[in-house]
Structure 1
Amino acid sequence: MSENSLRSVSVERTGAGHYVATNARGGTIVFGTGSDDEFTPVELLLAALGGCTAVDVDLATSRHAEPATFTVQVAGNKVDDELGNRLTDLTVTFTVAFPDGEGAERARTILPRAVKTSHDRLCTVSRTVEIGTPVTATVQDA
């Protein structure tokens, strides 16, 4: 692994059921347990799935035409079974429209291939979820 391959965030408790994640560049996002309007960790996972592939698709299509509509809906069912809590039946659905004009037909033609390429190869988030990368949890002394 190269030194540029590491990705990390830190998560800090800010109060009962409230947290802030900070990335290496200093960006933050607050989340919580769902007792208010803050995102839950599951919702952040869904946003990461949609956001990762949205970036790929947007970069591929918008160089040809600016979309009039670009929405990604991500959903899954939370289950608790013998394997524990998890999401099943994850779906990522794109609704994208390009206005008439220069490059729009090319962008419409590229759209399905861009979605497939992102899903099959480019999106680190969905690739990690589908492949099933092991997670190690440890405790470090404070």
Structure 2
Amino acid sequence: MSDDTLRSVRIERTGTGRYTATNVRGGSITFGSTGDADFTPVELLLAAIGGCTAIDADVATSRHAEPVEFAVSVQGDKVSDEDGQHMTNLAVTFHVTFPEGEAGDRARTILPRAVKTSHDRLCTVSRTVELGTPVTSTVEGA
């Protein structure tokens, strides 16, 4: 892979059931499995799915009007079956309002198309989930 296409994070254990992911720019997020307020990996996946399309839709619409409200709900069912544990019924719902007037009308018109274009072509996260891609796990030195 080239530096242009490679994306990466480093995950370090910070305690029992707690981890910090750090990106190459120095940003970090804590997550875990302890049942406290930290996000779980599944919640991070949901946030990534919704966040990716939210960014695309926001860029396309806010050129015309600043939203009065811009929220995205993402949900799904965590199941365990013959395929192991996985998510089903993933759904992303946008809750967006724009101000009255010509600029708001234009943004409202653009929003459905921006969401569809993101879902169908632009959002790397949901595109990867829907298309499926192998994940390789290795243990260094093993």
TM-score range, shorter chain: over 0.9
Contact 2:79/2:87, CA 8 A, preserved across alignment: yes
In the alignment, does 2:134 pair up with 1:134?
Answer: yes
Contact 2:74/2:93, CA 8 A, preserved across alignment: yes
Equivalent residue pairs, number: 142
TM-score (norm 2): 0.97
Within 5 Å, which residues of 2 pair with 1:1-142? 1-141=1-141
CA displacement 1:26-77 (0-9 Å, x = unmatched): 0000001042010000000000001000000000000000000100000000
Aligned alpha-carbon RMSD (Å): 1.2
Give the C-alpha shift of residue 2 in structure 1: 3.6
Q: Give runs of ≥4 in structure 1 deviating > 4 Å.
A: none
* Unaligned segments of structure 1, at least 5 residues: none
Distance 1:10 1:141 in 2: 18
Contact 2:74/2:91, CA 8 A, preserved across alignment: yes
Distance 2:31 2:104 in 1: 38
Between the two proteins, what is the percent identity of the paired residues? 70
* Unaligned segments of structure 2, at least 5 residues: none
